[in-house]
Every structure is written in C-alpha cells, then in structure tokens.
Amino acid sequence: MRKRFDKGAQAEIDAVELIESNGFKITEDQSEVNCSFKVDGEKTSYTLRADFLATKNGKEYVIEVKSGESAPNPNYSATRRQLLEYDHVYRPDGLLLADMKEVELHTIEFDIDRPSHTWLDKLKAAALFLAIGVAIGFAWHSCLA
C-alpha cells in the first residue's frame, strides 16, 4: 500500500511538468469542495478532492492524475465516474486526465444533454401558458354568449 501511495505522489509531482508544458497554469492543487446528498431524506456530507485546478486561455480546468495499469484509462469505470463527478460538481470549462503511465494529457468531454432552464426560458414558458389560458378563456366566453 505504501509503494502504491508513493507511486501516486510521484505521479502528481511529475504531472506538474506535463501540465505546465502544455500551457496550463496550475491555480490550485488538492482542491477540495464540500458536497452533500440525501439518503432517504437524511443529509450525508463528503469532501470531493481534485488533484489540480488550472487555467488556459481564460478557461478553467479540473485535472485528474492517474498512474498504474487501469486507472489512466478513461474507459475504466472508476476513473470515468470520478471524472463525471468532477464535471458535475466543479462545472469546469474542461476536464483533463493526466496519464502518467504514458505521460500524456487527455481532454475528457462528456456528451450529456443538460437542459438549460434560465429565468428567460421560464418567463417564455409562463407567457406561453398565459396566452393559452387567455385564448381558452375567450373561446369559453364566446361559447357562453
């Protein structure tokens, strides 16, 4: 276990050079976000920790560093789920996976349709329902007259 921890710690040190050589500026390491979820209505709290936060060209990125045989592969379910959680919680402009086995930096994008329900969208929907209601009211009034 100690050997595995040491390998991971060295991978994170080596990743700094890889990240910076690709034009990213590291803004935070071991970034922590307090999160919570509910199980049967009971709140459970946890801390999510990303290896690095970085910027490039005005965009913010979350970077996960992986070493070993399976973990650097984004098809590995545990790695994919971890990246998906970062994407959901941090809402970065981009996700990067630092594969320290191959010493490569990969861009990760999830193709998820996220509904955009801005206040303007809600206002448009309310106006539409109001117009439908008025039209039905006029039609109903005309039938009674």
pLDDT in tens, 45-86: 999 999 999 999 999 999 999 988 888 888 889 999 999 999
Looking at residue 93, the DSSP 8-state letter turns out to be: S
Do 23 and 53 lie in a common domain? yes
pLDDT in tens, 18-40: 999 999 999 999 999 999 999 99
Do 90 and 124 lie in a common domain? no
The Cα–Cα gap between 128 and 133 comes to 9
Do 88 and 38 lie in a common domain? yes
Do 22 and 81 lie in a common domain? yes
Do 57 and 71 lie in a common domain? yes
Identify the CA nearest to 106 among candidates 115, 97, 118, 114.
97
Q: Specify the pLDDT at position 96.
A: 96
Predicted confidence band at 9 (pLDDT cuts at 50, 70, 90)?
Answer: confident
Domains in the chain, number: 2
Q: Specify the pLDDT at position 82.
A: 94
Do 10 and 41 lie in a common domain? yes
> 38 is in which domain, residue-wise?
2-114
